[in-house]
Amino acid sequence: MGLPDAEDRFWHEHYLFEPYFVAGRGYDQYQPAYALGWQAAQRPSAQPGAFVSAEACQQEFAARESELCACWNREHASSFLTWSQARLAVKAAWDRVRLPRKLVPAVWLSAEVVQRMQLALRAGQRVQQRYEACLSAQPEGMLRSVLERFAREHPALLRELEQTFLPLSPGPGLGRKDIRFHVGSRYKQVEKMMAAWRNRRLAEQLPVEALLDELQAWLDNYARIDTDALPLPAAQVVRRQVLLVRGRRDAVLLLARGKGLPPQMSRVTTTGA
């Protein structure tokens, strides 16, 4: 008996982010371990469907471990994974069946991926401020209608990003200090200097130019996110939002050209695609 389709899809999407994953090993090497753990948790002795505490779950697995080890060595002797290597995958599938979902360990992402997602969120928040600045400048005609619609719809994009990314956290022991260390010990100082420089530069631009700058910066932040390192649903959100943001940038650019946008700004923004 293998894995049900839903479980197979789940592990296929998430096995890369599990703490025991070894780079270079494909899903086909881990799939039998997930199947064994799922099967063991379905047996009558495991009381399937009845959630237990984390401690009880650990005790149940420990009581079955010698049996599961013998089963693995007997049925998967040709596997590239020894029992000690497959054990954590078996346990992960067991926990997913036996534990309430809130107790199942989260999918861990690297500090670098999390930091890039956070930067994308901040870029999206700056775009919201630029929409407001553009509308305060009282644009006319179709440009105003488009800006009003984009500004109205923008918070939904930000909420979608937050709801997608916030549950994805760095792995155990990777806190904010580790993320800062990853980009250098002068993280705070550099971040403040960059923010001050950006705000001064944007203040010297026309509101629409500043908006186009921020939309392009948002796209640049999206481009730095390795979607292959994300769970499939999160990767789909990023790809879909890239298309939306690119379309909005191009629409604002085309309409702003007719309102006297400097030619050099048009060229720079277009080549940034």
Q: Which residues does 82 contact at the CB level (< 8 Å), separation at least 6?
A: none
pLDDT reported for residue 48: 47
90 and 122 share one domain? no
Specify whether 225 is located in the same domain as 242: yes
State the burial class of residue 184 (Cβ atoms within 10 Å of its Cβ: 0-12, 13-18, 19+): exposed
| Judgement on whether residues 249 and 134 belong to the same structural domain of the protein | yes
Tens-digit pLDDT profile for residues 120-140? 988 999 999 899 989 888 888
pLDDT average, residue stretch 55-78: 91
Query: Please, are residues 37 and 90 in contact by the beta-carbon 8 Å criterion?
Result: yes
Last residue of a domain, one of 76, 103, 130: 103
Residue 148: predicted pLDDT: 93
Distance from C-alpha of 157 to C-alpha of 44, rounded to nearest angstrom? 46
Strands (E), 81-151: 108-109
Residue 35 has pLDDT above 90, yes or no: yes
Q: Count structural domains, the chain.
A: 2
> What is the CB neighbour count within 10 angstroms for residue 49?
9
**For residue 211, which of 245, 242, 260, 161 has the smallest C-alpha distance?**
245
Of 62, 84, 103, the residue at which a domain comes to its end is 103
Domain range for residue 90?
Answer: 5-103
Residue ending a domain, choose from 84, 103, 122: 103
The pLDDT assigned to 9 comes to: 87
Do 50 and 126 share a domain, yes or no? no
Cα 90 to chain centroid distance, Å, stands at: 25
136 and 242: one domain?
A: yes
Residue 170: strand, helix, or coil: strand
